[in-house]
Amino acid sequence: MTDGRVFSWGESVGRRKKRQSRRDALVEQDREKLNMMSDDVLTDFSIDELREFLEADLVNVKVDPEFKERLRKQLWDLVQDRARGPQRTPN
């Protein structure tokens, strides 16, 4: 069934191009946010600090499951907050 509207092939292509350009703009915004986050993280730590952090993976230590879950939630919240970008305050 149709709702009575008739579209030409050109109109359909035009709409598709608009949707694609909007999608491309959103992808570019995401890419810029990721680059900003990466730069922030990279400037916060030295290579020696990163090596020291990664060495902890070689130590066989039991982890408290409650602590692990609490940390997982905190990290996920942090990732989501950073992905949203700076919060705007109302004027």
Closest CA to 28 of 40, 18, 17, 36: 36
Compute how many other C-beta atoms are within 10 angstroms of the C-beta atom of residue 79.
Answer: 11
Handedness of CA 74, 78, 84, 86 (dihedral sign): positive
pLDDT at 34: 67
Amino acid 66: pLDDT: 95
pLDDT of residue 7: 58
Query: Averaged in consecutive runs of 10 residues, what is the pLDDT profile of the chain (91 residues)?
Result: 59 70 78 65 75 84 90 93 76 60
